[in-house]
Structures are given as C-alpha cells and as structure tokens.
Structure 1
Amino acid sequence: MRNRECHPLLRGERREGRKYRNGFSSAEMESLSSICETLLPPLPIESLKNNNNNSSDAVKFFWESSGSQFPVPDKIVEILLQRALPEALILLRLILWMLATRFGTLLLCGSLCLNGKWPFINKFSDMSLDNREKVIQKWFKHRFLTPVRIVFLYIKVLCLIIFFSQCDENGENKVWEAIGYKVDNEVNTNNYTDNDKNRTLEKGIVEAMYETNLTLPQKLDQKGLKVSMDSKNNILKIKCDVVIVGSGCGGGVAASVLATSGHKVLVLEKGNYFTSRDYSSLEGPSMNELYELGGTYTSWDGKVAILAGSTVGGGSSINWAASIRTPDSVLKEWSEEYKLSFFSSYEYLSAMDTVCKRIGVTDKCVEEGLQNQVLRKGCENLGLRVDYVPRNSSEKHYCGSCNYGCRRGDKKGTEVTWLVDAVDHGAVILSGCKAEKFLLEENNKEGCLRSKKCLGVMANVVTNNVTWKLQIEAKSTISAGGALFTPPLMISSGLKNKNIGRNLHLHPVLMVWGYFPEWVRDLKGKIYEGGIITSVHKVQSKDSSEVKAIVETPAMGPGIFSSLFPWESGIDFKERMLKYSRTAHFITIIKDNGSGEIRTEGRVRYEFDDSDKENMKEGLKQALRILIAAGAVEVGTHRSDGHRIKCEGKSEKELREFVESVYATGGPMSHEEKWSVYGSAHQMGSCRMGITESEGAVDENGQSWEAEGLFVCDASLLPTAIGVNPMITIQSTAYCVANRIAGMLRME
C-alpha cells in the first residue's frame, strides 16, 4: 500500500471493468496469448528446484501464474496500437494471423506443429507447451528471417515488462514478494514546506491537461503573456520574448538564464508536471508517464533500446543523478580537432562550476547500495581503481528509485532548480504542449548571411480538451527537445543543413550480471536499493591512458530486468526471476565513434564502428572480472543464448576462458545466431555545433546557420559523444549559449 497519496497518473489501475483499446481480431489475440503463455508458463510447484526452500504462498502463486492472464495480452495490444511503428505493427499482426491458421503455423513452425490425427496440423495455440517453447527458442536463434525474430522479441519484451511492472489500484503486484521486490515508500518530509502545497513551479506552470479552450487563454494571460484569439482559424496567438521547446537539462537552464536577464520566457513541454509528492516509485505507471513512449523507444531495427525523459524537467527528472564534468580529453578534442574554442574558454570552465553549485553536486556517499558495493569490492580485490561518482543529491541520499522521480525531493533536477529560478523571474511553463514546427520566413535583413528568420513556433496541446492551435511569436526561439526531437522539428520546419539529424551518438551499453545469494554476508541489500550510480571504474588501454569504457551500475526494476534478461525457457526464466533481488548488474558505457541519424520522429538508425565493438568487448570482460572477484556464484551477459557460467568449483582457467569468450554481438536483425539488445540513456550530437555551416547545424552561439533567431540548446549541440554521463556537459553548454542569446537580445 502507498504510505501517501501520489498523482493519479502514477498510480496503479483498477482492473475490474477496465476496457482496453483492442483492434486485434480474436484469432490474433489467441496467438498472442499463446505466445505470452509460452514465455511465462503456469508450472506445477513440484517443478521448482529446491522446493523446500521456496514454498511460500507468494512463490507458489508466481510459479502457477501465466503471462497470458488478464490483462497482459490486452495491454500489449494497447501499447502496440499507441506506439509501434506502422510497418512493425503490420508485420507483427501478419505473424499472429499466420499462427492462427494451420498452414501459416506450418510455415513458421515446421514439423513441430504436426500430429498423427486429422487434420494433422495444429495451429500455434493448439500445440503443446513444450513444442511452442521449442518454436520460440528456434526463432530466437534463426539467422535469416530476422523480421520474425524481431516480432517474437517485441512480444517477449512487452509481455515481461507488463507482467512484472503492472500493479493494481493499491500499488501492488502479487509476484513482487516472490522475487524479493518492494516498492520504495520512504519519503523525506523535511523537504516539504508550507509552500509545497502550491508546488515549486506554481508561479509559472500552466498544465494544459487541466484546461479548456476557455480557460487556457485566461491562464496564460494571468501569467503575464500577451494573448489574442483568432477564432476564425482556431489559432491562439501568444507573444513573448523567448520561447523554449523543452524543459530538460538544456531548456531548463536556458529558461533560468534568460528569465533572470529580464526577458519574458515561455517554455513548452509535451510531458506533464509532477512534484516529489506526486511520484509513486511504481515502475509501470512511472515509466508510462515519465519516459518517451513509456520506455519502449527503440532504434528501427531493435538493436538499441532508448530511454529518454518526457516530463517537466526532462531527463534530469528521471536520470540516475551522475554529475560528471566534461573530461579534459573531450574538451581538448572539441577545441582543437573541431576548432571550437568555446570549449577551452574560461567561459565554459566557469559554467561547469556554476552548474555544479546550482544543482548541489557532491562526490561524497555515506552508504552505497548492493550493486555499487559489488563494484567497489570487486575492483579493490583486483587492485583496480574505483572512484566515487559526483551526484546532484546529498551525500546521505539512499534512493534506488530516482529513475521514477525522486520521492524524497533530494535529487536536484531542473524542475526543482533552474526552472524554479525561471518562474521566480516571470517565466511561464506550458506542460502538455507539443511543438509542431518553427515559424520561418525569408530574411530580408541587409548584411545577414542567414537566408531565413525564425518568428516563433506552432504548437498543439497533446490532449483533446484544448483544440486551439497555438502560435507563439518570439524574438528568439530555442529548440531544447533533446537529440531525438530537435532534428525532426527542424527538418519538418524546412531547414536543410546536412548535419541536422546526423552524427547521433547514443553511448551504447551492454550489461553483465552476477548472482550473490543472501548468504554472501558482506554485501548487503537488494539491487534496487541505494543510490543508483555512486561508483565508477574506468577501463583503460594497456599502452596509454585512453579510456576504452567505463563500468557503472544501472537502475533495474523488475520490469526492465525481465524484459532485457535473456529468455531460454519458461522454467529457466522463472527460476532466474526468483534470484532477481540479488542479481547485480553492471553497464559498460563507451564513447562511441559510430553514429546514427534521426530525421523523423521515432525513427532512429544507428551503426557501430569497429572500434566501438572492440572497446565494448574490453569493458564487458573487465566487468565480468570484477563480478567474479567480488564473489559472484554465477555470472553472465545479456547475449541471446543466455551466456553464463557458475563460478563455484570452476578453475581459474575455466573462468578466464569464459571471460575471453565475450564479444560485442550484432543486434536482433543481424544475421547472427547470438545477438544482443544494446541500451542507451544518453543521446547527443544530432544537431552539432560547428565552426562552419558544412561542419555543423549551428554556430558557436548555438544559432542555426540557416535561420536567424533560431537556437539549439540541448544535447544535440555536442560535437561528439562524451564517454561519461552528459548532464553537466549539457547544462554547462546550455548556460553559455543562453548567456550569449541574452547578450544578442540586449543589442537589439
């Protein structure tokens, strides 16, 4: 049960009488349910290993539960209809339809669907559970018809993340007790004041989801904006000095700088506004509401799973708090190789100091959680250096659920720092509002090299209660929607610079894991407890100080854990989930030389460089060594074949051979039998800064090379990947760019 009320959007849902959006036929639903049942089959309790030690009612309930039980298949369909790419949805429905027919099942399943009785061919749902399991195992290994493999993978991910993260109206899921998971209910009432009833952004926030066509103009007018209505064309016209699209690390900082400089600022944010009192720490509802596409965003080929914030505060509201300054090697690269003196200037170095002070960065940590204890112990046993990670929270912060919003109000995202400064100086934040295109006209200004001039932005409210089209006119327009959204917005507005949408870097990660039973006494706690990232190990090349990868720890709620962990069979997967709470994970982050592109919303294409795969391999190997040295009884990777080894009783040679067998595989659409899904929580570079128009989409002031008055102020500005968590770099760059914009406005 919740210890206090949270926002209705972040609670569990009442299932009785709940109707799901379902456009699938009964035949398609039958096939889908059969696949879900195969992934998580109901099993007799007698089949559980070490049954005497696992005979609780909770374990029995979990063991006998099925992935096909209501509402899992219905929620899968609802998510697919809302979020899947059209071509992916067509392919998935085609596969489900084929599996609902005997001939289609024969084509996809082969001899496994045959029997000795008329009509001799079973459709998929009529096949035995064992044979259905063999079919899925076969398709996960199939090297040629990879689109079919993608379909089974997509269903696997959605089925498991829903099953393990869903909760009822009381915020409960009966299987959590079996896997050793408890929702973080702790709050810090010391961070609440009488003013918290009005919320920190109350002075400037306008939440479109609560407004109507009548009240929205009134609210905006009350906040000091100039508002007029063009009823004939259904346009609500708004005038301000600066309009900013996005409220995250870039937009939040820009709003603060420009508002405190005396300009009337309007921030547009397509996500909703929540405070620490609103957060629930419930994985399912929180992911659905706070993340882009509910956390199901992937590259077009399924190779990279992408996490990006979609709420007021953007990624800073749900990131893992790591606050690392831009490495000197990166600043040198940008200033010398890219000739951007901006990044070697006192201006930028001073900005990093200002940013760290404003968001309360500290590198002290009083108590570490299980995963960071494992990282530190393993490194120390191997004689490797392990550093504390600076965080934008207090040294006593012991919150493992900041990725669902910090309930303690301790982590200092932009929504409790920079945006507060902004609204205190008259800025207005309009949440639930999505920018559609920039308003551009031909630039007739004498002596100006830019062919266009930006006058503002057109936007729409994302809910149906407001039907106005919003036309925001401003002296300066800033795109701060992040590396995934700034390029599509600029391209759809008619900008042509070749760098827009290209050079997208993702900091791709792969994971390794180690199981530490409860009897490993010197490592206390569960994997979801304690600060998410408090320790880091840098994997350096043997012949130089070059950092090939860094090893950190991730946030792993049961939904994300289950969706990413390799599936080998139903019983194996259920056994693995019983070990969830003590299965520590490490991530290896690389400074990727490979890159991708994002030209249309939701369509990321990405390719690895050979050096990326080599660096990833070295990072994975080192991470496994650390887990083994920390005392893991079993270690493995997330490779599709369930690549793992039990450490007990193994010789040093056997363990070394296992570690050396690790490599960076291709993705699920590669023609490899063994594959992996990479992760990305950092996206950057897709609208990079360049010294000339041919080298970048914007100049050193962040201004578009094509449109006067249009600026970019987010992670897409960065010339390359950074190789570390980028929050400080993004905010420092935004701070400098915003100050330069303020200087230009003063000169007008």
Structure 2
Amino acid sequence: MEDDQNTAHPLLRGGRKEKSFSHGFTKAQIQSLTAICEALIPSMPITALHVSSQRDPPPSPSLVSFYKASGSDYQVPDQVAELMVKRGLPDAVTLVSWVLWALSTRLGTLLLCGSTCLSLNFPFIRSFSEMPVEKREKVLMAWSRERSFFSALRLSFALFKIFCVYVFYSWTDVNSKNPSWEAIDYSPGPLKPPKNPPPKSFKDSIISTTTLTKESLVSTIKTKGITVTEDPSADLLTLECDAVVVGSGPGGSVAAAKLAKSGYQVLVLEKGLYFTPQDYSLLEGPSMDQMYESGGILSTTDAKVLITAGSTVGGGSAINWSACIKTPDKVLKQWSEDFSLSLFGSHNYRAAMEAVCKRLGVTEKCEKENFQNEVFRSGCERLGLKVEFVPRNSPEGHYCGQCGYGCRTGEKQGTQCTWLVDAAEAGALIFTGVKAKKFVMRENDGLERKESGKPWSRERDQRCVGVMAVTGCKVNQKGKKSSLRLMIKAKLSVSACGSLLTPPLLISSGLRNPNIGRNLRLHPVSMAWGYFPEQDCGESLRGKCYQGGIITSIHKLVLENQDHDSGVIIETPFLGPASFSAIFPWLSGSEMKEAMRRYARTVHIFVLVRDTGSGEVMKERKITYNLHRTDREKFKKGLRTALRILVAAGAVEVGTHRSDGQRIKTKGMRDEDFEEFLDGIEVFGGAYSGEEKWNLYTSAHQMGSCRMGADEEKSAVDERGESWEAEGLFVCDGSLMPTALGVNPMITVQSIAHCISDNMVEFLRDGEGGVSEAAMKHASEMVRKEI
C-alpha cells in the first residue's frame, strides 16, 4: 500500500522538470506576462542594494545569483499562467487575460499605462514588453495605488504580484531545490523517518479511487464487504451502507468514529488524497497544491482575504499548526443563552472537550520555543503583558516547525492519526479522490418514522437517502481517463465538508433554507513584522523564523472598557518563503528582494479578530466578506500592540502589511517618533476597495455558514445538527457555529461533532429499518433519470 501511495503522489515530493503548458494564454499574452514578472522580480547587480560594506565579507555566489535572477527565468511566466488558470477565480482569470491582451498592443498599453509608454522614436508608443524594465516597474507601482475608474488595475496588480512571487519562491528543480533558497537562508526538512507511522489496518481502510480502474475499484469494494451493484450503461456504481460521511476533517472523522464504533457500516468520502507521514516532502509548493483547498490560493471574490483550508484526509487537522484551545467560557455562555442552545451550557459538552483533548494527546506546555515565539514572549514580558502557553496536540518536546505541510514525524495527532484510525478499526472505509455532487432527496411520506415525541420526530418535507458523487480521476483498462459516478445509499448522511463547501453542497442538493451559506465568519488576520539581524541579537534569540513549534505562546488583548476577553488574540504564524512573499507588501523589485533576503530573521506576529462582520458562500469558491468597522478598530489596537511587542524585543525595523509598506527603523528612534508611527496605524479594505491604501488579510478558520439554532428562521440546522428540511441529513463541521469563536476552532469542532454524533447514533437506533426499500428504489430511479 505504501509503495502504491509513493507512486501515486509524486508531486508531494517536488522535482519539477521542463514541461509543456496548457494554460491557454496566447504567445502575445505570455510575452506581456513575462514582462510583468520581470518587473516584479527584476535582475539587478548586488551593489545596487548596498548589501555589503568594507567590514562585511564579500557576498556569496548564491546571493549574487539571487539578485541577478529574474521573474522571467525558470519558466516562471508559464507556470504563473498555468497556476492562474488552475487556481484563480474565473472572473479574475478573465480580468488578467484582458489586461495581458491590452498590454500586448500599443493602444492598450497607452490606455493602461499612460504617458510612461511614450517614446520619442517611431512608432512613439511602446507596448508593455517593449518598455524598459524600470518603466514597467513604475507602471506596476502606479497600479498598486490606483483609485480611479481603473481600480480594477489595482486588483490585477495584486493578482500578478501574488501569483508571480509565489511561483518564483516555491518552484523546485529535479533535485527539489529552489535557486533562491540558499540566499534567503531557507532549507525545508530535514526528512527524518516518522516516529509514529500509521497502523497497517488504517492504510488498508483507504480506498484510493484515483489509482484504480473501475474493475479494480469494484473488486476492492466487494472484498471490504460492501454491497455494490454496477450499471455499465451509466458508468455508475451503487453502494449501500448505514451512514455516509462527506469529508474526513475534524468533524467528519469524529462522526465516522462514533458511528462505526456503535456498530454501523460507515463510508467516508474525501475529495483529497491520503498521505502517510513518510509521504510529506515539506516542500511548500507541492504540499500546498496537494493538501490545501484550491492549492492554498483561494480568496474572497474581491481578493481582500486569502483563505487557507485543508483538503486531504484529516482535513484542517492534517495541516493545523497544532493549537488546541478549548471553547472559551464567554462563547459557551453566549451560545447557550443568546442562541438558546442548551448543549453549550451542558456537562455533556464539557465532557466532550475533555474526551477530545485526551484522544488528541493535548499537552499544556512546550519544552523549547522557537525564534519567533521567543521574540514574542520576550517582548510581552518586557511590556508586562500576560503571555500564556498554547495547548498542542503533540508532545511537549515537539519542535517541528513545518506541520502546516503535514507532520513528518507523525507526532502531531491530527484526526487522520486518531479518530479516523478508530473508525477504520471499527470497520469504516475511507474513499479518497471522491467528490460529492449532491445529497439525494425524496419526498418524506411520513410513514418511515414512528411518531415518538422525540426531537427528530418533527415532520420534514424531504428525506435524504444518500449522496451522489464522482471519482476525481479514474483510469480504465485502455489507459483513458474518465469519471465514475457513485451513488451511496445510506440511512443517514453527514455533510462535514467545512464552512466553505457544506453550504454549496446543500444548496446543490435542493435545500432552500435562506440561512445556508450566510453568517460566514473567517477570523480575519492581519500581521506585523520585525527584523532581527542575528548580529544584533543575543544568544537567547537564535534560529530562523520557520524552525520549531509554530504557535506555542498567546497574548489575549484586553481593550479599554471591555472585560478580559476582547475578541483579539496575538500569536505567531508559520510562513514559507512563497507565502511570505505573497502577503508581504511590494514597493519595488529591489525592496522585495531585500525583504526576502531578510526572510529567515523576520519575525511575524499576527492579530486575529473574533469577527463581527460576516460573509456568504453559496457556490464553491465564490466567497464574499465584509469587515465590520468594529473589527477594524480591533485590528488597529491589536497591530499597535504587536508592534510594541516587536520593538520591546529588539527589532531594528518593524512594519505592517499595508500596501504602502508602512514601516519604521528603530535605531535612534525617539519615543515620540514611535508613538506618531503608531498613531498612523490604520486598516483598510482589500485591493478592490477603492480606498487610498489597502490591506491583504488572511484566514485559516472558517465558521458559521450553516449555523445551528433553535429557530428555523435564524438557523440552517436544528440544535441536534439535523437539517430543518431533510430528515436523515446532518451537518457536522465548523459551519455549525452560531458566531465566530475567537480562538483556533480545532477542539470546538471536534467537541461539537462528539455531541452531535450521539444524536446520529440515537437517530439510527430509534429509526428501525431506517430508509424503506421504496425510498431506496426511488433514489435509484432519480439518479438514472438524472444521468
């Protein structure tokens, strides 16, 4: 099995060779894109940046090569084009395609670049690629600040910049190396053998549909004891089980484990792939591509918020930064009282949190903190700010700093190492590479349920009888790729796709509750940074920003006129070089290279806000979000505190991620200068907002888009997790949260799932016979009719 996995997932190991591309851009458009990439990352002599002095040793060959390198090298433009088409939103791809076409013409360049493209020589107007790189760079600077009718150019700039620098710093050659990494002092790994390999029984429970033909898939399913029937004319397989769980993340894995351990046949559908710890390469590009939703390049429709979410077996828990914080008491009180959800005031919920923490092996302290957390803790202590250890689902001595790409040691206890293992040992099967398309409904005739007086006896208009899905890529015996439809008939169905995908799936299944897809919370994050040259720091602040435990310390900000919980927390992130470059402000090509040269010793501190603002997600990848004015005020106060922490810890320069590169050097800085700088801290909308300056926010926590409640008018599912509209359809992920949480949601999601799963078990036990034969026959007829 392990050899098969290694063969199946070569991208996770890196090693990108020269290749042909299928992005669809014309030669003229690629010429324009190449000119843009070269302007964003220009080649320059190292002396131009004054990086050496008489007392410094001469620059290393790698540093010289780094400054000479250009964004037009290494097939970067073609890779950027391909990544844009593969991962970009369709509207964004249309926009950049038009811009690239316009720039390939002289009149289009005049329209978009103004007088900068004019020349004294015939034909007097130059296309963008004909302009000197210095003038192209000035055009991009102007675009980044554009506020006029052409504000779409600012969005175009943001897209070009993010994709270009991301590709430049993440691509790898056949030896899994990037030429810039040595110059910026970055080295992924090391690749040590895992300490805790997964049990063989778990790997045997994984059915990787993308590596099997239809014939071998059917044979494999039958050997597992699952009833399966074939319909060759429709390229359809029909499977039968007690419960089907769509999604293998924190919510779905707990549900699968509790249902399977209660004696029910459970099938888990995961559209991502399964990787053992030994599969993890710790390479940023391929790891993000294979383990994150949309390859880690997902944003709101206006590019205001960059969103990261897991898309692999284990979901977000596989790439979580280990933080495991219980649901705050204030939140429990709010959900219990304001939303009339007695679950969150119950002993059962607190017992569930204890059970979850025990199963994940959560520890309360960290034996050794990394460079970033040492800086953070030092700054907090010097300012007299309370700083606490962050509980983690790993041993106290766990020092892996790249768990965002999967935990190579196997010490981090994600759900693929815990609850899914429990589910597999109880007989559950996990299908990978399977994408759910819709839950299959039929009219509820009211005869399939006994009127028991229990909560679920409430009559619903529909009955869910299973899910329709497709395999990601099936290879038949002739070597051709095709999709294969799967109809999974089940007595109980669970949507555990996460806050971004559960609403679109429910809507595509015909559900009409207006709360589905609304009330999306993102825990928006904004960052401050500080530069700590090694020669200016003592022995206590050694190391690199990407090494060691990612989040081990936390400061909970207390605001004036508020209680101890302001809804703002401050912690440290993990940023690989590509992610670092994508969110760091671009002021010029030289400024960007200088920022990347300092990458390893640049400490980031992030401010996370328990958001009042909200968004919507009705269709996949169509995410809108509005930042509330009160959240902006919290960001201002949080960023000011973060900057104070960095200065107190000894940073020689600090700044924010605001588009104008807001920063200040601290050497010789007077207190009044610093206070004036802090007074200028403001937060703005995204690149498409039309404001003078703009911010790029990030989000790693998505919640609330299918929230539970006691009232059908205000919620998408009832307090037991069951759909108001469809009997036998439960939701079991972060989308259930009534509001934003304010801390990492990993424990909360699993604790809610732990409680809701008891309701699912009770549903199956009390619903003798579950779905009738007539209902199953009706479902099959519906599927055939649709096909």
Q: TM-score range by the shorter chain?
A: over 0.9
Match of residue 770 from structure 2: none
Aligned equivalent of 2:98: 94
Q: 1:199 to 1:45 in 2, by over 3 A?
A: farther
Which of structure 1's runs of 4+ aligned residues deviate more than 3 A?
Answer: none
**Aligned: 1:737 with 2:742:** no
1:660 CA displacement: 2.1
Is 2:464 the partner of 1:454? Answer: yes
Identity %: 51
| Whole-angstrom distance in 1 between the partners of 2:40 and 2:135 | 12
Check conservation: 1:269, 1:434, Cα contact below 8 A.
yes
Mapped partners of 1:743, 1:185: distance in 2: 47
Choose which of 490, 507, 510 in structure 1 pairs with 2:506.
490
In structure 1, what is the Cα distance between the partners aligned to 2:306 and 2:39? 24
- Relative to the length of structure 2, the TM-score reads 0.93
Q: Residue 668 of structure 1 aligns to which amino acid in structure 2?
A: A
Does residue 707 (structure 1) correspond to residue 726 (structure 2)? The answer is yes
- SS of 1:721's equivalent? coil
**SS class of match (1:584):** strand
Distance in 2 between the 1:652 and 1:169 partners? 51
- Change in CA separation of 1:139 and 1:200 when aligned onto 2, cut-off 3 Å: farther
Displacement after TM superposition at 1:87 (Å): 1.9
The equivalent of 2:745 in structure 1 is 726
Count the aligned residue pairs.
739
* Partner in structure 2 of residue 158 of structure 1: 163
Which residue among 568, 590, 601 is the counterpart of 2:609?
Answer: 590
Pick which of 462-471 and 278-287 moved more: 462-471
**2:635 matched to which residue of 1?**
616
How do residues 296-335 of structure 1 correspond to structure 2 at under 5 angstroms? 296-335=297-336
- Contact 2:194–2:408 under 8 Å retained in 1: no
Q: How does 1:553-592 map to 2 (within 5 A)?
A: 553-592=572-611
Query: For 1:173-193, what per-residue CA distance to the aligned partner results, in whole angstroms no more than 9, with x for missing partners?
Result: 12100001011214254434x
- Sort the Cα spacing of 1:28 and 1:189 in 2 relative to 1 into closer, same or farther, 3 A: closer
> Corresponding residue for 1:277?
278
CA displacement, residues 618-661 of structure 1 (integer Å, 9 cap, x when unaligned): 11111111001111000000000000000111101111111221
Equivalent residue for 1:546? 565
- 1:363 Cα deviation (Å)? 1.4
Query: Is the 1:199–1:275 contact (alpha carbons within 8 Å) kept by the matching residues of 2?
Result: no
Cα distance in 1 for residues equivalent to 2:41 and 2:474:
38
**SS class of match (2:398):** coil
Counterpart CA distance in 2 for 1:656 and 1:542 is 18
Look up the match of 1:191: 196
CA distance in 1 between partners of 2:419 and 2:196 (Å)? 17
Partner secondary structure for residue 318 of structure 2: helix
Report the alpha carbon displacement of residue 460 of structure 1 after superposing the two structures with TM: 0.3
In 1, Cα distance between equivalents of 2:687 and 2:103: 21
Question: TM (normalized to structure 1)?
Answer: 0.97
Select which of 3, 8, 18 maps to 2:10: 8
Q: Secondary structure at the match of 2:279?
A: coil
2:645 and 2:115 mapped to 1: Cα distance?
45
* More divergent stretch after superposition (616-625 vs 708-717): 616-625
1:235 match? 236
Cα distance in 1, alignment partners of residues 42 and 738 from structure 2: 48
* Helix, strand or coil at the partner of 2:548: coil
Deviation at 1:607, TM superposition (A): 0.6
- Looking at structure 2, the residues matched to 50 and 584 of structure 1 have their Cα atoms a distance apart, in angstroms, of 20
Counterpart AA for 2:314: G
* Partners of 2:716 and 2:639 in 1: CA distance: 35
Deviation at 1:136, TM superposition (A): 0.5
Shift, 1:86, TM fit:
2.0
User: How far apart are residue 218 of structure 1 and its match?
Assistant: 1.1
Question: What amino acid is the match of 2:467?
Answer: V
Alignment of 1:43-82 (within 5 A): 43-52=44-53, 53=56, 55-82=59-86
Question: Which residue identity lines up with residue 478 of structure 1 in the other structure?
Answer: V
- CA shift, 1:472, in A, is 0.2
Structure 1 counterpart of 2:302, one-letter code: D
* Aligned-residue offset at 1:468: 2.3
Rounded to whole Å, the distance in 1 between the matches of 2:529 and 2:303 is 22
Does the 8 Å CA contact 2:520/2:704 hold for their aligned counterparts?
yes
Quote the offset at 1:84 in angstroms.
2.0
Unaligned runs of at least 5 residues, structure 2: 1-5, 452-457, 476-481, 768-787
Q: Distance in 1 between matches of 2:193 and 2:37?
A: 40
* 1:696-722, Cα deviation, whole Å (9 max, x unpaired): 111111000000000000000110000
For the residue of structure 1 that corresponds to 2:674, the secondary structure is helix
Give how far 1:545 is off.
Answer: 2.1
Deviations 1:444-486 (A, max 9, x none): 1156421000000000011142532100000000000000000
Q: 2:567, 2:357 → 1: CA distance?
A: 26
Q: How does 1:423-438 map to 2 (within 5 A)?
A: 423-438=424-439
Aligned partner of residue 331 in structure 2, secondary structure: helix
Residues 194 and 278 of structure 2 are in contact (CA less than 8 Å); yes or no, is this contact kept in structure 1? no
Distance 2:297 2:201 in 1: 30
Moved more, 548-557 or 701-710: 548-557
Conserved? CA contact 1:200–1:416, under 8 Å: no
List aligned pairs for 1:404-483, cutoff 5 A. 404-446=405-447, 448-465=458-475, 467-483=483-499
* Distance in 1 (alpha carbons) for counterparts of 2:29 and 2:194: 49
Deviation at 1:232, TM superposition (A): 2.3
User: In structure 2, what is the Cα distance between the partners aligned to 1:203 and 1:184?
Assistant: 28
SS at match of 1:69: coil
Kept after mapping to 1: 8 A contact 2:32/2:100: yes
**What do residues 723-748 of structure 1 show as CA deviations (whole Å, max 9, x unaligned)?**
00000000000010011100111112
- Most deviating of 290-299 and 79-88: 79-88
SS at match of 2:730: strand
CA distance in 2, matches of 1:185, 1:96: 41
In structure 1, runs of 5+ residues without a counterpart are none
Distance in 2 separating the partners of 1:582 and 1:561: 12
Structure 1 counterpart of 2:485, which letter? K
1:640-719 equivalences under 5 Å are 640-719=659-738
Residue 502 of structure 1 is aligned with which of 499, 518, 543? Answer: 518
Q: Is the 1:548–1:618 contact (alpha carbons within 8 Å) kept by the matching residues of 2? A: no
Match of 1:181 among 183, 186, 190: 186
Give the conservation status (yes or no) of the 8 Å contact 1:549–1:618. Answer: no
Matches within 5 A, 1:69-218: 69-144=73-148, 145-192=150-197, 196=198, 199=200, 201-218=202-219
For the residue of structure 2 that corresponds to 1:588, the secondary structure is strand
The RMSD of aligned alpha carbons is: 1.3
Q: Deviations over 1:204-250 (max 9, x none)?
A: 11001111111111111112211111222221000000000000000
Does the CA-based 8 Å contact 1:11-1:169 persist in structure 2? no
The structural deviation recorded for 1:616 is 1.2
User: Closer, same or farther in 2 for the Cα pair 1:473/1:343, shift >3 Å?
Assistant: same
Other structure's SS at 2:183 match: helix
